[in-house]
Every structure is written in C-alpha cells, then in structure tokens.
Chains A and B, each alone.
Chain A
Amino acid sequence: SAVISQKPSRDICQRGTSLTIQCQVDSQVTMMFWYRQQPGQSLTLIATANQGSEATYESGFVIDKFPISRPNLTFSTLTVSNMSPEDSSIYLCSVVPGTGAYEQYFGPGTRLTVT
C-alpha cells in the first residue's frame, strides 16, 4: 500500500474564494483520483489526475471549477474555485499504486466548510 497525506485537513472558507488541496504520496503511483463526499452521502469521483497532462473529468465536473494538477507521480493538487456553501464537503485523494492491480487507497481527506 501507499502512505497518502493531504493538506489542509480542514478549512473554513468564505463564499467566492478558492482553496487548493494538496495530495502527497510516499511512492510513485500509477493512478491518482479526486473524490467529493457531500454530507451524509457516498463518494463521487471528480476526476482522474493525469501526470503531465490535463485531468479527465467526470460528468458534472468542469476544469474551471475544479482545476487539477499532477506534475509528477507522487503529487497532485485540486483547487475548488469560486466556492459556494454547496461546495462544503470532504474532498479525498486516492491512488492505485501499481499496474495490473486495481486496489485503491485513500488519503485522510480535507473537510471543507464554505460560509
């Protein structure tokens, strides 16, 4: 498995501002993903973070609202832009460490509250 850290662990932000969440892995990984978990709900995939190229977004999520970077095989960022109270959620980074196996591991999450 991989050890995954996220920063910040939690934040309270004002409406209209942006927050960048960092995900750091202790080893090179094949795949990195970003999820959103709204209060009391299951997880929803936002996008696949592709190393050195634009992220692949799921239906309902757009790059202008959730820009993602992945400069190398151990690090990614997710920005939540122009926030509204509806963006209050837990944001989770996950990784698939190697090729040929689908087992996915999650970071501790970032708990975001927008006021």
Chain B
Amino acid sequence: GIQVEQSPPDLILQEGANSTLRCNFSDSVNNLQWFHQNPWGQLINLFYIPSGTKQNGRLSATTVATERYSLLYISSSQTTDSGVYFCAVGSNYQLIWGAGTKLIIKP
C-alpha cells in the first residue's frame, strides 16, 4: 500500500517565524489533504491539493504529484498555529495518514 512520510516530526519555533512541512508519498495519488489538529483534538481541513499550489492567508501548499511530495508553508507563525499537522493521501475516498508534524509556536 501507499506509504506516507512527514518531516520533521517535531518543530519548535518562535512566534513570527516561517516554516515548511513536507509530505512524501510512495505512489501516485489523486487525493491529498492537509489537516491541522489543534490542542483540543479538532481536525481542521487546510487544503485539498492533489496537485498544484493553493494559498489561504498565511498558509500555502504545493503538491508536485510527479515527484510524489507536498509542502505546507506557514508564514509569520502565531501561537494558535500550534498543534499537529497531518498529510493524508489516497487514490479515492479512503485516506492513508502520515504520522504528523507536531508544531509548537512559542510566544
């Protein structure tokens, strides 16, 4: 089955810093999503991005499907950005999940 690797596993930054999170996957996919799980456990959709580039405020994402990776960029980090960021991929409705990147933003 498809393997999903996220890096780095942990990231600690000062407020205002920028960060790049990476998701590598082992096979072609037509479904790729980024999620943010806040400290209370709520999973929030960030991007549905099987290919191309999208931006939403301080967040943007790029997926290079031919090279089997996706990047999530967070600019000007805020403490509310803390939590775990998951990449999930699949060839249809079912998603295979990465282990996540735990992000801590210090004030």
Nearest A residue to B50 via CB reads: A102
B92 and A42 form a contact (CB under 8 A): no
A102 and B97 form a contact (CB under 8 A): no
With A and B bound together, what is the CA distance between A108 and B40 in angstroms? 9
- Number of A residues whose C-beta is below 8 Å from B? 22
Contact residues in B for A44 (Cβ distance below 8 Å): 97
A103 and B33 form a contact (CB under 8 A): yes
Contact residues in B for A104 (Cβ distance below 8 Å): 33, 45, 88, 93, 95
Contact residues in B for A1 (Cβ distance below 8 Å): 45
Closest CB of chain B to A80's CB: distance in Å? Answer: 17
Binary contact readout B40-53 vs A (1 if CB under 8 angstroms, 0 otherwise): 01111100101000
Closest CB of chain B to A91's CB: distance in Å? Answer: 11
Contact residues in A for B95 (Cβ distance below 8 Å): 45, 104
Contact residues in B for A103 (Cβ distance below 8 Å): 33, 45, 48
**A50 located at the interface, meaning its Cβ lies under 8 Å from any Cβ of chain B in the complex:** no
- Number of B residues whose C-beta is below 8 Å from A? 22
A106 and B99 form a contact (CB under 8 A): no
Contact residues in B for A48 (Cβ distance below 8 Å): 93-94
With A and B bound together, what is the CA distance between A92 and B95 in angstroms? 14
Chain B, 34-66, CB within 8 A of any chain A CB: 35, 41-45, 48, 50
Nearest B residue to A41 via CB reads: B99
Contact residues in A for B93 (Cβ distance below 8 Å): 31, 33, 48, 96, 102, 104
**A62 located at the interface, meaning its Cβ lies under 8 Å from any Cβ of chain B in the complex:** no
Contact residues in B for A41 (Cβ distance below 8 Å): 99
- B-binding residues in A (CB < 8 A): 1, 31, 33, 37, 41-45, 48, 90, 92, 96, 101-106, 108-109, 111
12 contacts between A and B (CB under 8 A): A1-B45, A42-B86, A43-B88, A43-B97, A48-B94, A101-B48, A102-B31, A102-B90, A102-B93, A104-B33, A104-B95, A109-B42
